[in-house]
Amino acid sequence: MKIISYNVNGIRAAIKKGLYDWIKNENPDVVCIQELKARQEQVDTTELEAMGFKHYWMSAEKPGYSGVAIFSKIEPKHVEYGCGIGKYDYEGRIIRADYPGGSIICTYMPSGTSGDERQAFKMGWLADFQDYIDDLKKTIPNLVIVGDYNIAHEEIDIHNPKGNKKNSGFLPEERAWVTSFLESGFVDSFRKIHKEPDMYSWWTYRANARPNNKGWRIDYQMVTSPLEEKIIDANVRNEAFHSDHCPTYLEIDL
């Protein structure tokens, strides 16, 4: 199974920049989208359906905000919309597709960059998400959790670790959460394959950051430990320019 995960920073804008053509050329089995900023009825899905994708949307209640979706050529056994916690489901932060070999969760984790209130919301989310996943693993041990985690884990995952150590997305408590999450039974599929630095998935639009590769790796495809040996390949697709993020790629024998 070939899985693409992509924070598109507005799916309608990304489509205008050639997203559908890029997906067609990439030819994945599953595409997980974050930051839709749209409802399904606002998006022309004709080309998507022509490529053979069934599509499932968990948009935010607030217009033009957040939202996640899964496009799949393989019809899932079941699709779960949200996590059952109202304040997160209101923002459209989780959707899950169940397949015979395991489940794919597409998530858009909160950002804390707008201030203390949202940072507190983010930290609450991280604790609740861990509890949600711990409970889910009891019935579905094979999980692939993809999306924008809004945290750069290690110094290798950010271009200026010293200058960003007090910024949301690279705070010690956020990084410690990623470490704890991995220790709870997950593998960072990208780092299993790639040990080299300067491999990022997000660049600010300011200060010519992307041409200079001054980025952060905040987008992940985490897999539960039983799936580690089933990872075939993992990478970032940094040649894709439909967003301030680039897609992540995972090939796994699910």
Question: Tokens 């300067």 — which residue?
Answer: 198
Q: 163-174 burial by CB neighbour count: b if 16+ within 10 A, else e?
A: ebeeebbbbeeb
* Three-class secondary structure of residue 151 per DSSP: coil
Nearby residues of 62 by Cβ (< 8 Å), 6 or more positions away: 90, 91
State yes or no: is 148 an active-site residue: yes
Nearest to 158 by CA among 212, 120, 202: 202
Classify residue 102 as left (phi > 0), alpha (psi -120 to 50) or beta. left
Nearest to 170 by CA among 186, 156, 190: 156
Choosing from 29, 89, 116, 148, the catalytic residue is: 148
- Which pair of tokens denotes residue 92? 């459209």
Q: Which residues are catalytic?
A: 148
